[in-house]
C-alpha cells in the first residue's frame, strides 16, 4: 500500500515503464485513511505531540505536506515554528528526543500511541475534509463491482512536439469522459520527454472505453492502463 503523492505517482510510472507489456500492475481500491500525513478520517484532525505532555512548544516537525495543511494554525500561533522533516509518523520520535519538550510533531493519533507521545491539541487542519489517499499495488488485478462507478489510472509517454498533450487528451473530450487527474514527470535520460499519469471517471458502468484507449495508444509513444478502482471505498 502506498500514498498517492506526486513522487509516488512517479513511482507508479516507473513501475509501468520497467515491467514488460505482458506483466500485470494492478492499482486497487483507494481509501481515505488515518494517513501518515496526520490527516485522519476518524479523529477528524491533526494532533500535536511532545515529549513531556506540556504545551511549551516552540517547534513543530512533520512532513511539509502535513505542515502546509495546517497553515492557519501556524499563522495564529506564530511562536511555534514549522520544521519540515522527511516523514510524518517519523517526526514523532524526533520530537520525543527533545528532553526540554520544546518540539512537537504534527502526526496521527496512531503515531502518538505507537511512540508514546502525548496529545496536546486536535483539529489543526485548515479543512476538515482533508484525506490522504492510499492505493494497493499488486500483480493480480482484483475484480470490481461492474455496477459501481469507477476511475481508471493510465500512464503514457508523449513525443516532444507542439500539441502532443492536446492530441492525447482530445479523445476523452470527444467521448465525454471526465479527466480528474493529470501529472507529468520527465523521463530519465530523455531530455524534453515526459511521462504522464492520468485518471478519468467511468460514470457509466456499462460504457466501453476501449475505443478511447486504443485511440490514445495510437497518439502516444507508449501507453499503459495501471488500474481501475471504485470511486468510493466500500
Residues marked active site are found at 132, 134
Give the integer Cα–Cα distance in Å for 227 and 206. 17
Decide: 40 and 31 in contact? Cβ < 8 Å. Answer: no
What cell numbers appear for 47 in the block? 494532533
Amino acid at each position: 500500500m502506498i500514498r498517492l503523492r506526486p513522487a509516488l505517482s512517479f513511482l507508479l510510472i516507473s513501475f509501468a515503464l520497467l515491467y514488460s507489456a505482458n506483466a500485470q500492475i494492478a492499482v486497487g481500491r483507494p481509501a481515505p485513511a488515518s494517513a501518515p500525513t496526520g490527516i485522519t478520517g476518524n479523529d477528524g484532525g491533526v494532533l500535536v505531540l511532545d515529549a513531556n505532555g506540556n504545551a511549551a512548544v516552540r517547534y513543530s516537525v512533520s512532513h511539509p505536506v502535513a505542515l502546509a495543511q495546517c497553515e492557519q494554525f501556524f499563522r495564529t500561533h506564530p511562536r511555534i515554528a514549522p520544521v519540515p522533516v522527511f516523514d510524518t509518523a517519523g517526526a514523532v520520535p524526533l520530537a520525543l528526543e527533545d528532553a526540554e519538550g520544546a518540539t512537537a510533531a504534527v502526526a496521527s493519533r496512531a503515531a502518538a500511541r505507537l511512540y508514546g507521545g502525548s496529545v496536546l491539541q486536535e483539529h489543526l487542519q485548515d479543512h476538515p475534509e482533508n484525506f490522504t489517499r492510499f492505493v494497493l499495488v499488486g500483480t493480480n488485478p482484483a475484480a470490481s463491482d461492474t455496477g459501481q462507478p469507477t476511475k481508471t489510472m493510465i500512464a503514457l509517454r508523449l513525443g516532444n512536439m507542439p500539441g502532443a498533450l492536446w492530441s492525447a487528451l482530445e479523445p476523452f473530450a470527444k467521448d465525454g469522459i471526465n479527466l480528474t487527474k493529470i501529472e507529468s514527470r520527465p523521463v530519465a535520460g530523455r531530455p524534453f520527454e515526459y511521462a504522464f499519469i492520468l485518471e478519468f471517471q467511468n460514470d457509466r458502468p456499462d460504457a466501453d472505453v476501449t475505443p478511447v484507449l486504443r485511440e490514445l495508444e495510437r497518439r502516444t509513444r507508449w501507453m499503459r492502463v495501471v488500474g481501475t478502482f471504485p470511486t468510493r471505498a466500500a
